[in-house]
A and B are shown apart, each in its own frame.
Chain A
Amino acid sequence: MNVLASMRTALRALRVNLLRSSLTMLGIIIGVAAVITMIAVGAGAQARIAEQIKSLGSNLIIVLPGSVTSGGVRMGFGSQSTLTEEDAYAIQREILEVQASGPAVRGTGQVVAGNANWSTVFYGTTPEYLEARRWAIASGKAFDAADLAGATKVALIGQTVANALFGDTDPVEQPIRIRKVPFTVIGVLERKGQSLMGQDQDDVILMPISTARKRVLGQSQAKLRTIGSISVKIRDDADITDAENEIRSLLRQRHRLQSHQDDDFFVRNLSEVLQTQEQSSQVLTLLLAAVASVSLLVGGIGIMNIMLVSVTERTREIGLRMAVGARGRDILLQFLVEAVTLAIIGGLLGIALGVSGSYAIGYFAEWRIALKAEAIVLAVSFAGAIGVFFGFYPARKASRLLPIEALRYE
């Protein structure tokens, strides 16, 4: 008997017990659907993180002021602003791997435009900062070196600020007041979305660092050159770890730190953080898939259970088939094909359920999902393998029956 004939026999046997076959399949359906959905959700999360890495710039290093030790007492992070604008320019100038290095000072304040007002964060920075952060201008233009030199009162506003202050009208060339200081909006920043911590990165105003210091913050002479952070972009072909080390030694040298002294700054490789997150979400995806696979396994055990019942129930049929010439391997094939057919049909229905379930989750929970062809192929071949694995024992049991005993079975 060939495989095709076995399949027809198997399909008939499954149709005869339609309810039982469907219930048996349910285990596989749920298992396959769960694997596909979980991988889709996990891969979606991964894709989101990957996108954030891209939006952040794949080779961004952030340098932050660190703690200083004063008379044996270690002060906390950011307790003293140890970074200066010159540090940022030195990094740009002296380290070959660096493409752009921009300092930033931070402030908060009320912003007014016409009769609308909004409380937001502003950064005083340089055009290099925009480059390092891969921040493009949606409309208008960015400030340039001349603005920096002249401390002109121009501002770039984020999408959220633009919305809050101007609604639908074009903010470019409009006057605004930041902490009561009059400014002109010269450009709107491109949308960046939420940061990894869930902060709205578009709720921001950027201005030349000189303007921020002289016109808005009004800093004391002592703090005049200190800054809150330096954003550094490493060249695409450069090694990010080498660059990190060079930045570290340059700053240590500039800050005149002795070899026994700790760094008074932090070097953060943000894309590394994101990559770690990506890895952990990968692990999470695997974990979810593993849990879903357990239900697939349970489905397989269900198949085995039903096949065993079926073999017992059909002992006389097996005896008769043997009496008219079926060999052991014909019987083995028949029951194996039945089990695999159950698993494969269940697998196909599971794909349908898994795909629609993934879209449903994507739609209702507004989660990013990413359906993976590999996941689908994997889940179904796993289902088929389960059919073979769990179908084999009952099928072999059937094939080993003695014809005479099977025929006499009551």
Chain B
Amino acid sequence: MEQPLIVTRELSKDYLLDGYVVHALRGVSLTINAGEFVAIMGPSGSGKSTFMNLLGCLDSPSGGDYFLAGEKVSQLSGDALAAIRNRRIGFVFQNFNLLPRTSALENVELPLLYGGCAAPERRSRAAERLAAVGLAERVHHLPSQLSGGQQQRVAIARALINHPVLILADEPTGALDTRTSAEVMALLQRLNRDGMTVVLVTHERDIAAFASRVISFRDGKVVDDQRNARPADAQALLAQAEEQAA
């Protein structure tokens, strides 16, 4: 049942930086199917983050087309893009980007707030989501009272709250230690096994190894696109590490 969720055609992005045009992305044509777990790799300046921002509808391309779930989104207005971000895409950031001094529950509720959802329903759905990522006991904690891994799980719960078709994770383990990274990756893998499409940006080979497809960027172009038939299993790694510790 593989159908293309993301299709880009000759997608390009130019920036104007101090009067010079920077070609951050020079014609990227890619197809990502629903249910894939894709890692995007590349050195800094390779255009992977720019590509990610375009996929996330946070930015508009300078040229080319982008179809998300069959809908051409490359020419949509700002408000329409906001609606797509709200309903179709879940973001996970390197630095979590949780609202400070705001409880985990309210952080998770945030997308529902902009989706026009009534308060009681927001509350119960957010609590449900937090429970699903193992934070049922921490709903009223503030981000500052949570560990890095817990904060990232709150962020993942927030990304999932509106039943998106795509999770975009930008260096989700960049601020975490190895063990917590594995935990977060295990969570993402579990979501993927349940059918969620996950695209993650990383520069760590270890992290990319958890993905079923690795796309490498260099100088604004795709230079490598490999399927990984047997991705590493984060859950198994965690169990193994626990065994060794015991």
Question: Chain B residues with Cβ under 8 A from A402's Cβ?
Answer: 59
Contact of A326 with B by CB under 8 A: yes
Known A320-B99, A324-B114; contact A404-B58, beta-carbon cutoff 8 A: yes
Question: Chain A residues with Cβ under 8 A from B158's Cβ?
Answer: 324
Contact of A321 with B by CB under 8 A: yes
Question: Chain B residues with Cβ under 8 A from A323's Cβ?
Answer: 56, 58, 85, 91, 97
Known A325-B83, A325-B85, A403-B58; contact A320-B114, beta-carbon cutoff 8 A: no
Known A12-B102, A317-B99, A404-B53; contact A324-B110, beta-carbon cutoff 8 A: yes
In chain A, positions 1-37 with a C-beta closer than 8 Å to chain B are: 1-2, 5, 12, 16
Contact of B19 with A by CB under 8 A: no
Q: Which of B78, B115, B116 contacts A328 (CB 8 A)?
A: B78
Contact of B215 with A by CB under 8 A: no
Question: Chain A residues with Cβ under 8 A from B87's Cβ?
Answer: 325
A328–B79 Cα distance when bound, in Å, is 7
Within the complex, what minimum Cβ distance (angstroms) separates B126 from chain A? Answer: 13
In chain B, positions 72-129 with a C-beta closer than 8 Å to chain A are: 78-79, 82-83, 85-87, 91, 93, 97, 99, 101-102, 110-111, 113-116, 119
Measured CB to CB, the nearest residue on chain B to A5 is B113
Within the complex, what minimum Cβ distance (angstroms) separates B85 from chain A? Answer: 5
Within the complex, what minimum Cβ distance (angstroms) separates B171 from chain A? Answer: 13
A402–B101 Cα distance when bound, in Å, is 24
Contact of A246 with B by CB under 8 A: no
User: Is the Cβ of B97 less than 8 Å from the Cβ of A320?
Assistant: yes
Question: Chain A residues with Cβ under 8 A from B79's Cβ?
Answer: 327-329
A210–B163 Cα distance when bound, in Å, is 106
By CB atoms of chain B within 10 A, which of A317, A321, A328, A404 has the most?
A404
Main secondary structure of the interface of A (DSSP, over half): helix
Within the complex, what minimum Cβ distance (angstroms) separates A326 from chain B? Answer: 5
A329–B115 Cα distance when bound, in Å, is 14
User: Is the Cβ of A325 less than 8 Å from the Cβ of B86?
Assistant: yes
Question: Chain A residues with Cβ under 8 A from B53's Cβ?
Answer: 404
Question: Chain A residues with Cβ under 8 A from B86's Cβ?
Answer: 324-325
Within the complex, what minimum Cβ distance (angstroms) separates B145 from chain A? Answer: 15
User: Is the Cβ of B78 less than 8 Å from the Cβ of A324?
Assistant: no
User: Is the Cβ of B114 less than 8 Å from the Cβ of A325?
Assistant: yes
Within the complex, what minimum Cβ distance (angstroms) separates B97 from chain A? Answer: 5
User: Is the Cβ of A321 less than 8 Å from the Cβ of B110?
Assistant: yes
Q: Which of B85, B101, B102, B119 contacts A324 (CB 8 A)?
A: B85
User: Is the Cβ of A1 less than 8 Å from the Cβ of B99?
Assistant: no
A403–B53 Cα distance when bound, in Å, is 10
Contact of A192 with B by CB under 8 A: no
Contact of A297 with B by CB under 8 A: no
Question: Chain A residues with Cβ under 8 A from B101's Cβ?
Answer: 16
User: Is the Cβ of B58 less than 8 Å from the Cβ of A1?
Assistant: no
Question: Chain A residues with Cβ under 8 A from B78's Cβ?
Answer: 327-328
User: Is the Cβ of A326 less than 8 Å from the Cβ of B114?
Assistant: yes
Contact of A112 with B by CB under 8 A: no
A188–B182 Cα distance when bound, in Å, is 103
Q: Which of A5, A319, A322, A404 contacts B82 (CB 8 A)?
A: A322
Question: Chain B residues with Cβ under 8 A from A288's Cβ?
Answer: none
Question: Chain A residues with Cβ under 8 A from B119's Cβ?
Answer: 5
Known A1-B114, A1-B116, A12-B102; contact A324-B59, beta-carbon cutoff 8 A: no
Question: Chain A residues with Cβ under 8 A from B97's Cβ?
Answer: 316, 319-320, 323, 407
Measured CB to CB, the nearest residue on chain A to B56 is A323
By CB atoms of chain A within 10 A, which of B58, B93, B116 has the most?
B58
User: Is the Cβ of A326 less than 8 Å from the Cβ of B99?
Assistant: no
User: Is the Cβ of A330 less than 8 Å from the Cβ of B58?
Assistant: no
A323–B99 Cα distance when bound, in Å, is 13
Measured CB to CB, the nearest residue on chain A to B102 is A12
User: Is the Cβ of B82 less than 8 Å from the Cβ of A326?
Assistant: yes
Question: Chain A residues with Cβ under 8 A from B91's Cβ?
Answer: 323-324
A404–B162 Cα distance when bound, in Å, is 21
For the complex of A and B, 4 pairs with smallest distance between CB atoms: A325-B86, A325-B114, A324-B111, A327-B82
Q: List 24 A-B contacts (CB under 8 A).
A: A1-B113, A16-B101, A316-B97, A319-B97, A320-B110, A321-B110, A322-B85, A323-B56, A323-B91, A324-B86, A324-B158, A325-B83, A325-B85, A325-B111, A325-B114, A326-B82, A327-B78, A327-B82, A327-B114, A328-B78, A330-B114, A403-B85, A404-B59, A407-B93
Binding site for A on B (CB under 8 A): 53, 56, 58-59, 78-79, 82-83, 85-87, 91, 93, 97, 99, 101-102, 110-111, 113-116, 119, 158, 162
Give 19 new A-B contacts, CB below 8 A, not counting A316-B97, A327-B82, A404-B53.
A1-B113, A1-B114, A2-B116, A5-B113, A5-B119, A16-B101, A322-B85, A323-B56, A324-B86, A324-B111, A325-B85, A325-B87, A325-B162, A326-B114, A327-B78, A328-B82, A329-B79, A403-B58, A407-B58
